[in-house]
Amino acid sequence: MKPVFIVLEGLDGSGTSTQAQLLADHFRSLSTPVELTAEPSTGLIGATIRLALKRRIKFQADRTSFDRQMALMFAADRHDHLYNDAEGIVPTLKKGTTVICTRYIPSSFAYHCSNEKEWNFIKTLNSEFPIPDLLIYLDNHVENSLKRISNRNILDQYEQEDKLMQAQANYARYLSEYQGKLTIINANLSREDIFSRIVESINKLTNSKA
């Protein structure tokens, strides 16, 4: 099988991390080389983003200013995540290894935009980054997301009802305009049913690339 770049997206609590791990295990069971990653990345910029989201380091308090800072930080982290020589996504794909990533460009549109100016700003920042071979979106309602993340010890800056409502609307717009290969799955199905649909969509993708 040719290596593919797969991205899983969805609101917080939609199950993307769980499904990404299941998918990585599935590929390994087939003896297919695979790497599992996420954004923010584990690099220096990604670590700074995580600290900022958890309020461990202080960025600007104004939400609009904070979102713009995060958009710039995520773009810088994304560039490193894609292209660094040690473990970048692009070099990994070139070595013949499939890459599964939780969160990518769609998250920047979802969480960093509240008006058309910001939408265009995010589009410009990410315009030169490659789109994945397959984007999988786990469609979850805001109220379900809030229930699922309610037991977390600390909620980050974006795990708030108003921010999730905005993110849901932005995801809907992004997906309606998306030109790449896309699979949308109801996140309220059982874990097994979601995974089955993911595998089915990947089999269709890999057969078309064979």
* CATH number of the domain bearing residue 25: 3.40.50.300
Reply yes or no on whether the pLDDT at 28 is more than 90.
Answer: yes
| pLDDT digit string, tens, across residues 176-194 | 999 999 999 999 999 999 9
Sign of CA dihedral 86, 137, 30, 1: negative
Whether the Cβ atoms of residue 140 and residue 202 lie closer than 8 Å to each other: no
Is the CB of residue 126 less than 8 Å from the CB of residue 108?
A: yes
Task: Tell me the mean pLDDT in the region 131-146.
Answer: 90
In tens, the pLDDT along 59-113 reads 777 778 888 999 999 999 999 999 999 999 999 999 999 999 999 999 999 999 9
Which residue type is seen at 187?
A
pLDDT value, residue 52 = 87
Decide if 145 contacts 12 (C-beta within 8 A). Answer: yes
How many percent of the chain have pLDDT more than 70?
A: 92
Domain that holds residue 83: 5-209
Whole-prediction pTM: 0.91
| Count of domains forming the chain | 1
- pLDDT at 153 exceeding the cut of 80: no
